């Protein structure tokens, strides 16, 4: 326990069958472009990589720049929009519950038109970096 009522999440490993809904949290912009004073969270599903790449390709067709979606990233969000990470949420966790344990599966990274239909938030895949995280933590343990 980090503080009363606050627990940490385990570092993610590759999960063959992740739950359909997971949580993302942060202090990012709300609908009214205001920053909240309290930490907010929302449950959003993982999105298939092919579907996410397709949505990014659609943005590119409209002559807008968009980063590449790599295998070290995954997408989450609702096809109809309305719930997403946004400006100010970067670096926040995407956490899933599996086997009674909370896992840090992703880190909010970037997105296009947050909360809009057909657009998804993009997260860094923590499982790809567990070895580096553990090594860095061990080297800096005091």
Per-residue confidence (pLDDT) for residue 106, from 0 to 100: 92
CB atoms within 10 A of CB 139: 7
In a domain, 8, yes or no: no
Pairing state between β 10-11 and 21-26: unpaired
The residue that leads in pLDDT, 18 or 123, is 123
Q: In 3-state terms, what secondary structure has residue 44?
A: strand
- CATH number for 33: 2.40.10.10
Per-residue confidence (pLDDT) for residue 33, from 0 to 100: 72
Per-residue confidence (pLDDT) for residue 2, from 0 to 100: 58
Q: Tell me the three-class secondary structure of 49-69, residue by residue.
A: HHHHHHHHHHHHHCCCCCCCC
In a domain, 2, yes or no: no
Q: Which of 31, 25, 13 lies closest to 115 in space, CA to CA?
A: 31
How far does CA 88 lie from the centroid of its chain?
13
> Whole domain around residue 102: which residue ranges?
19-139
Structural contact between residues 73 and 137, judged by C-beta atoms closer than 8 angstroms? no
Domains in the chain: how many in total?
A: 1
Structural contact between residues 126 and 22, judged by C-beta atoms closer than 8 angstroms? no
Q: Once rounded to an integer, what is the mean pLDDT over residues 116-140?
A: 92
Say what the pTM is.
0.85
Report the percentage of the chain scoring pLDDT > 90: 34
What pLDDT, in 10s, does the model give residues 58-96? Answer: 888 887 788 888 999 999 999 999 888 888 888 999 998
Per-residue confidence (pLDDT) for residue 3, from 0 to 100: 62
Measured distance CA(99)–CA(14) in Å, rounded: 13
What pLDDT, in 10s, does the model give residues 30-63? Answer: 667 777 788 888 999 999 999 999 998 888 888 7
């Amino acid at each position: 326990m980090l503080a009363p009522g606050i627990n940490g999440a385990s570092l993610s490993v590759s999960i063959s069958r992740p739950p359909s809904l997971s949580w993302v949290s942060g202090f990012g912009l709300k609908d009214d472009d205001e920053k909240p004073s309290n930490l907010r969270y929302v449950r959003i599903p993982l999105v298939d990589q092919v579907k996410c790449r397709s949505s990014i390709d659609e943005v590119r067709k409209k002559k807008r720049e968009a980063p590449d979606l790599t295998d070290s990233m995954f997408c989450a969000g609702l096809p109809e929009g309305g719930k997403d990470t946004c400006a100010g949420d970067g670096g926040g966790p995407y956490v899933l519950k599996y086997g009674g344990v909370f896992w840090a599966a992703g880190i909010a990274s970037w997105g296009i038109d947050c909360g809009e239909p057909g657009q998804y938030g993009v997260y860094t895949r923590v499982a790809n970096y567990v070895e580096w995280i553990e090594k860095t933590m061990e080297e800096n343990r005091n």
